[in-house]
Amino acid sequence: MIRTVQLLRYLSDAPLRRRVTAATNKVESFNRFSQWIGFGNRGVIADNDPVEQGKAMKFNALLTNAVIFHNALDIAEIVRQLLEEGWEIDPEDLAQISPYLTEHINRFGEYSTHELGIQPEAYDPRLDVDFTVFRGDAPTSESYSPAA
């Protein structure tokens, strides 16, 4: 009966439907962003251990929230700069900005040492191992048993 009353209320109240739709869209956006962050192994948790599964899910949630926090800080800094330059920021426009931004994130990282002024050492293919002791002990064809 309670469900029926709620469903009838939902169907008859347009502002309630808009609020529910907006909240649902936010949750779906968060889930898409979280899946984008947790791209390793195509988002599949391959471990059957519930403790390890919980760790993987919590790590993904932590990483997702850290990126969202960083994005929010970046957005706030840009808004501050625009206000200092004299731009007028409408709160309704600001409400449309999502912290689920991915364009500026390189998930695979960038590993460049030339920007730091660090030159990697030249690769030396020589090994300081004396292989001559093995040359005289090569197995002969008689030492192998015939295939069954």
CB 60, CB 38: distance < 8 Å: yes
Half-sphere exposure of 106 (CA within 13 A, CB side): 4
pTM, two decimals, is 0.62
**Tell me: the pLDDT tens digits for 32-57?**
999 998 877 776 777 788 998 899 88
Residues 6+ apart with CB under 8 A from 85: none
DSSP state of 110: -
Percent of the chain's residues with pLDDT above 90: 33
* Mean pLDDT value across residues 74-78: 90
**Tell me: the pLDDT tens digits for 110-135?**
766 666 777 767 877 776 666 676 56
What are the structure tokens assigned to 55, written together?
A: 């760790």
**Domain definitions of the chain by residue range:** 31-106
**Tell me: the pLDDT tens digits for 88-109?**
888 888 888 899 999 888 887 7
Radius of gyration for the alpha carbons in the chain, expressed in angstroms and rounded? 30
Q: What is the pLDDT of residue 134?
A: 59
Q: What is the pLDDT of residue 100?
A: 93
**63-67, 93-97, 138-142: the lowest-pLDDT one:** 138-142
Burial label, 148 (beta-carbon count in 10 A; 0-12, 13-18, 19+): exposed
What SS3 state is found at 1?
A: coil
